[in-house]
Structure 1
Amino acid sequence: MSILSDELIERIRSRAAGYDASNSFFFDDLDELREAGYLRMFTPIERGGLGFGLEQVAKEQTRLATAAPATALAINMHLVWTGVAKTLLDRGDDSLAFVLDEAAHGELFAFGNSEAGNDLVLFGSTTRAEPQADGGYRYFGRKIFTSLSPAWTRLGIFGLDDSDPGHPMLVHGFITRDTPGYEIVDDWDALGMRATQSSTTILDGAFVPATRVVRMLPAGPSADPLIFAIFANFEILLAAVYTGIGERALALAVEAAHRRTSMKNDGRSYASDPDIRWKVADAAIAQDGIYPQIDALARDVDSLADHGRQWFPRLVGLKVRATENARFVVDQALRVSGGSTMASSSELGRLYRDVVAGIFHPSDGESAHSTVANAWLGPVS
């Protein structure tokens, strides 16, 4: 049974359009989700959480996204970090256990990793990480798409320490809301996913103490468990959110097909029109195929399955299929629902704007195809 009651889902759905129209953050949603235990789903029961695994959390995220995609996408960032901590803990690594503990006490974690022009993603950084005498680091750089900007209390960041030119290191750590040396730029006014408030964050000497430096990894591709844990949780939970958008779009298409009537067919509903029936069926067939893929891959993470070198192709493949599938389902739903979806008040029109963001999340189509090609064919010789 979902921890998101039908009543809570409807309250969240009722606020989504307002957040989108005013380009504002989902404070009321966050309060209710925190009260429901949503922020501590991944935290083990003995640490004060709900003890959920990735498979169950992904289902919750799909359900939340049917009500408010932007709320679900932003909360994803917190859930990714707590999911990373859980994935590592399950494998005997407690280096991020503090994330689970602090989440159980209400702290909200966000990602400060994305950088304009950095197509190396986690394998390189334009942010400078300067080592300090006490083992801590100061960070200087510009992070983009920092979801949860108005509300996070903990921000995960990383940057490049090239103080030893022969051995550049990528340094991962966490700052708190009261850490000096960063600025949140009020620059989020996007086409879709507006309530995420994914503002730019400028790091200007923000200090991470040695106790919050969680990894120092050689620049470039890495087999470190942290990298696997980030990719696994990020890709699977993204797939879950966009699948929720497709699910809602399909439901709206069905409603529209029954509501709309045709003068050509003696006033009968479009639910009897063969072309409309084909479009709804096409969307339903596509939508139905994604759920078991998410379930299976999330279950494999939970059960410590070993896919070896095939893990990353499977993860990026799922993300691309789910986001592209959601775009297809939304597009079919628009065709079924008609021109009324052009209205700014249309929920389906908002879903159309929201679903576009799926193109840009890592791994994008080009990166995913490169990953899969390398796994099957080896690197380009």
Structure 2
Amino acid sequence: MLPDDLLERFRARAAGLDREGTFPHDDLAELRERGYLRAFVPPEQGGAGWGLERVAAAQSRLAAAAPATALAVGMHLVWTGCAAVLAARGDRSLDLVLDDAARGEVFAFGVSEPGNDAVLFDSLTRAEPTGDGGWRFTGVKSSTSLSPVWTRLGVFGRDDTDPEAPVLVHGFVHRDQPGHSSLEDWDTIGMRATQSHSTRLEGVEVPAERVVRVLPVGPSGDPLVFAIFAVFETLVAAVYRGVARRAVELAVESATAGRSHRAGGAPRSHDPLVRWRVADAAVLLQGIEPQVDAVARDVDGLVDHGAAWSAIVVGLKTRVTETARAVVDQAVAVAGGASFRSSSELGRLQRDVLAGRFHPSSTDSAHATVANWLLGPDH
């Protein structure tokens, strides 16, 4: 589904998309034509029927060529992956996602909010019941990847109708309905082509048939919450694993192409310091390679890690994104000043890899999650 010639086209486009800050429409069209957006959709519905491990492997391969394309498309794959993970566990509440994806709809993630560090456990978006089983949502969702093209937006908000028992409502907005707008505010230093503009919700209605969960405010063991965390964190990690892979390739290219004046014109690949840096980057990459595969394989295999699941998936995302930054740093040290040019692919990776720290869960949040698992709550 991702042959070499396709990925080379994506890589060739990536520099211009980053420079102009434009969405990879051509990449998306080719991925759609190949059925990539239906990777999680069952074969009987026209999809590939892949599991999380296989999709994560594909996402790493795609990210090595075009990180922003992989990250943007990954948000669609998160929703379809959640639906597949739930279905494998006998929960059909997200079948509407698989049905729509089979028909070519594109899903975006409207979860993150400015100032909300509680992520899925609370919301600053207001959800008001319409009286017929639906809800009306008002608020701002940040980092809405796929903003120019989504046709379905997963959102959630807080309903305080009963102040003693507030609830969080999850549902899906259709693009062709009123009550939402893009703020066109994605002007970042990295992952520019994702076009992850903030989305303003202005009383947009989600009818009862598109409401998929009503949960109490606070941490939850609901299968939907598990699925979102497991799939989101794993696929984000897969993207940055791909970035790290490409950084190692570029470090090797730089080391083997140049010569050292200091060493009398000998190849730079003979320089002990260059060799150490390239090897260190590779060692770091080797450490995260199997971790992504192992976590995804356990999700596919319905392995029950119980309360440890949250710590496992947030730890994975944190390790991979932080390690990818270290790998890119070593590659930059090997390449030298050439990587500081705006035309440098490695220069673009320097900026793209920085985005890893801003995806939920943040490093601080991940450590809090692991501490709660090991030590219990702090109050």
What's the offset of the Cα at 1:376? 1.0
What's the offset of the Cα at 1:179? 1.3
Write the deviation string for residues 292-319 of structure 1: whole angstroms up to 9, x where unpaired: 1111110000010000111111101100
- Tell me the residue number matched to 1:58: 56
Cα separation, 1, equivalents of 2:103 and 2:331 = 41
**2:202 aligned counterpart, secondary structure:** strand
**2:259 aligned counterpart, secondary structure:** coil
2:2 maps to amino acid:
L
> 1:144·1:201 contact (CA, 8 Å) conserved in 2?
yes
**2:307 aligned counterpart, secondary structure:** helix
2:233 maps to amino acid:
E
Cα separation, 1, equivalents of 2:50 and 2:287 = 24
Cα separation, 1, equivalents of 2:372 and 2:200 = 35
1:312 maps to amino acid:
S
User: Which of 235, 243, 246 is the matching residue for 1:245?
Assistant: 243
What's the offset of the Cα at 1:265? 1.2
Cα separation, 1, equivalents of 2:10 and 2:367 = 36
Cα separation, 2, equivalents of 1:37 and 1:106 = 9
- Tell me the residue number matched to 2:19: 21
- The answer to whether residue 169 in structure 2 is matched with residue 171 in structure 1 is yes
> 1:243·1:326 contact (CA, 8 Å) conserved in 2?
yes
1:244 maps to amino acid:
G
Consecutive unaligned residues of structure 1, counting only runs of 5 or more, are none
What's the offset of the Cα at 1:100? 1.0
2:219 maps to amino acid:
P
User: Which of 308, 323, 340 is the matching residue for 1:342?
Assistant: 340
- Tell me the residue number matched to 2:256: 258
User: Which of 313, 316, 321 is the matching residue for 1:315?
Assistant: 313
Q: TM-score, normalised by structure 2?
A: 0.99
Cα separation, 1, equivalents of 2:58 and 2:35 = 12
2:296 maps to amino acid:
A
1:99 maps to amino acid:
V
Percent of residue pairs identical: 62
> 1:188·1:199 contact (CA, 8 Å) conserved in 2?
yes
1:265 maps to amino acid:
A
Cα separation, 2, equivalents of 1:271 and 1:20 = 31
What's the offset of the Cα at 1:350? 0.3
What's the offset of the Cα at 1:352? 0.3
- Tell me the residue number matched to 1:69: 67
> 1:136·1:208 contact (CA, 8 Å) conserved in 2?
yes
2:351 maps to amino acid:
R
Cα separation, 1, equivalents of 2:124 and 2:136 = 14
Greater shift, 342-351 or 371-380, is seen at 371-380
Cα separation, 2, equivalents of 1:291 and 1:79 = 20
2:68 maps to amino acid:
A
What's the offset of the Cα at 1:202? 0.4
Cα separation, 2, equivalents of 1:142 and 1:326 = 30
Write the deviation string for residues 108-159 of structure 1: whole angstroms up to 9, x where unpaired: 0000111011000000000000101111111000111011000000000000
Cα separation, 2, equivalents of 1:376 and 1:224 = 21
User: Which of 289, 302, 305 is the matching residue for 2:287?
Assistant: 289
User: Which of 206, 218, 221 is the matching residue for 1:223?
Assistant: 221
User: Which of 71, 79, 82 is the matching residue for 1:81?
Assistant: 79
What's the offset of the Cα at 1:85? 0.2
User: Which of 366, 371, 378 is the matching residue for 2:364?
Assistant: 366
Consecutive unaligned residues of structure 2, counting only runs of 5 or more, are none
1:275 maps to amino acid:
L
Cα separation, 1, equivalents of 2:162 and 2:374 = 35
Cα separation, 2, equivalents of 1:292 and 1:357 = 22
1:106 maps to amino acid:
G
> 1:48·1:101 contact (CA, 8 Å) conserved in 2?
no
- The answer to whether residue 151 in structure 2 is matched with residue 153 in structure 1 is yes
> 1:136·1:209 contact (CA, 8 Å) conserved in 2?
yes
When the two structures are aligned, how many residues end up with a matched partner? Answer: 379
What's the offset of the Cα at 1:213? 0.4
- Tell me the residue number matched to 1:91: 89
Cα separation, 1, equivalents of 2:138 and 2:160 = 13
Cα separation, 1, equivalents of 2:163 and 2:108 = 30
> 1:24·1:194 contact (CA, 8 Å) conserved in 2?
yes
